[in-house]
Amino acid sequence: MLFPARFVDRERELEALREWCSRSRVTPLYIYGPEGSGKTRLLKEFTLRLKEYLGGDSIAVYINALEGESVENALLLSEPLQELSSIVASIVNRFAGLGLGGALATRLSSVLERIVGRARLKGNVVVVVDDVVQALGVDRVEWYVKWLHSLQWSVIENYSPKAFNVIVTTSEGVSLNRVLRHRHATMKMLWNLDWRAFRELYNHLSPPESLDYEIVWRTLGGNPGKLVELANIHNWSLGSLVHHYRERLKHIVFRVGAEGLEELLEMALEDPDSISEAGDPRMVTLESILVENNLITPMMTSLGGRPEESLELGVGRNYSWQTPMYRDVLRELLKTRG
Ligand SMILES: Nc1ncnc2c1ncn2[C@@H]1O[C@H](COP(=O)(O)OP(=O)(O)O)[C@@H](O)[C@H]1O
Ligand SMILES: [Mg+2]
């Protein structure tokens, strides 16, 4: 596996997380954002630096709900718990169909009681459950939202920690409505990196000199995951990356065609806010297709600063393309089809 690039930027987001975790909140915090916007990386950095942010008696437990087998990948503990992760596998009996991460995510009370231990639960405690929707399936999301909420109360009652908070992430647009309609959840968005931070990451990754940063920025719109993919999988060939997504997005254009929504898609490609502004009831269907396939993101309060609106990058007030590349590829597929 390639070594992850040096962590860049995200000061405001880390500060927002610190602030959120400085006292017990009534609800878990749900972080939603484009695939590859950096949710996992941000929360792992937060876990590792927790003491710096919240003081000596604070502890964080990060669980990657998607991890099937490896304890090292499924669990990250802040100091001084780090050495304890090795005993995890022995105490977690996996539920049928759930890998190690999923089992940990659904057995948080025993993780806290048996791994962290009663004494340490007196401090400031943060639990992070990453990629929960993909791991548990969308049908279990509502149950999980409610269950986390009650877990939060029972931990506070049983252990009286200084503060106890749960942070959950998802990239799955399909889960949004199910989480949002709950009063037991607060949702914040993590958007892509801005121009400056994206350039910093770009430079760390040693791009070939022949590549023009501005073109990469206009294609990827600051999405760190896509940049890492460009460097590591496509060996800096934008053509190869775009080709890959052209193949992946063909089915969207077929589906949009079958539903007779091409014209509406053209409008959304021009300006993503036309999804909320066109006044055409069929936009609801198009919106579902684009959100469920993680191509556009409904904009909501952001964990850091609000991204600047830009028609060129497909970033609107109410909706945005997750990367300009998706929009450009769909535009091209639509044209060649017609
Ligand atoms: N702030 C950052 N600095 C450096 N690399 C980052 C940053 N944010 C994300 N990355 C890298 O981009 C890739 C995708 O990030 P990840 O956190 O997995 O996205 P998400 O969880 O939102 O899908 C990873 O390789 C990650 O290390
Ligand atoms: Mg992730």
What average pLDDT does the structure give for the chain?
Answer: 92
For residue 2, is pLDDT > 70? no
**Ligand 1: which atom is nearest the Cα of residue 33?**
22
**Are 176 and 309 found together in one domain?**
no
Looking at all shown ligands, the one closest to residue 190's CA atom is 1
Q: Please check the confidence at residue 267 and state whether its pLDDT lies above 90.
A: yes
Residues 240 and 225 in one domain: yes
Report the number of distinct structural domains present in the chain.
2
Cα(331)–Cα(266) distance, rounded to whole angstroms? 7
Same domain flag for 30 and 120 = yes
Distance 200 CA to ligand 1 centre (A): 13
Compute, in angstroms, the gap from residue 43 CA to the centroid of ligand 1.
10
- Residue 177 binned pLDDT confidence (cut-offs 50, 70, 90): confident
- Out of 40, 41, 46, 191, mutate this one to test ligand 1's pocket (max ligand atoms within 8 Å of CB): namely 41
Q: What is the pLDDT of residues 97-117, one digit of tens each?
A: 778 888 888 888 888 887 788
Ligand 2 centroid to 109 CA: how many Å? 23
Reported as a pLDDT band with limits 50, 70 and 90, residue 1 is very low
φ, ψ for residue 60 (rounded to 5)? -130, 140
Q: Say which residue, 247 or 173, is predicted with more confidence.
A: 247
Distance (Å) from CA 67 to ligand 2 centroid: 11
Q: Counting atoms of ligand 1 from 1, which one is nearest the CA of 130?
A: 21
Q: What is the pLDDT of residue 332?
A: 97
Q: Who wins on pLDDT, 229 or 103?
A: 229
Residues 29, 170 within the same domain? yes
Q: What is the pLDDT of residues 125-175, one digit of tens each?
A: 999 999 988 888 888 888 898 899 999 999 999 999 999 999 999 888 888
Residue 167 lies in a domain: yes
Closest C-alpha to ligand 1, atom 26: 41
**3 state DSSP class of 167:** strand
Look at 46-60, 85-99, 214-228 and tell me which has the smallest mean pLDDT. 85-99
Q: Write down the pLDDT at residue 210.
A: 97
Confirm if 179 and 169 have CB atoms less than 8 A apart.
no
| Same-domain pairing of 139 and 252 | no
Mean pLDDT, residues 205-216: 98
CA 211 to ligand 2 center in whole angstroms: 28
174 plus 205 within the same structural domain: no
Question: Does any domain span residue 3?
Answer: no
Give the position, in ligand 1's atom list, of the atom nearest the Cα of 41.
Answer: 17
Check which CATH number belongs to the domain holding 134 and give it: 3.40.50
Helices (H), 181-237: 195-204, 213-220, 224-232
Q: Which amino acid is at 16?
A: A
Predicted pLDDT at 90: 66
What pLDDT, in 10s, does the model give residues 32-60?
Answer: 999 999 999 999 999 999 999 999 899 99
- Shared domain check, 284 and 156: no
Higher pLDDT: 83 or 249? It is: 249
Q: What is the pLDDT of residue 88?
A: 74
- Residue where the block lists tokens 């962290």: 116
Domain, as residue range, for 61: 11-189
Nearest CA to ligand 1 atom 9: 38
Phi-psi domain of 160 (left: phi exceeds 0; alpha: psi -120 through 50; beta: other): left
Note the pLDDT of residue 301: 94
Residues with CB under 6 Å of ligand 1 are 4-5, 7-10, 33, 35-41, 171, 201, 224-225, 228
The verdict on 94 and 230 lying in the same domain is no
Q: What is the pTM of this model?
A: 0.94
Cβ atoms 259, 285 nearer than 8 A: yes
The closest ligand to the CA of 12 turns out to be 1
The rounded percent of the chain whose pLDDT value lies above 90 is: 69
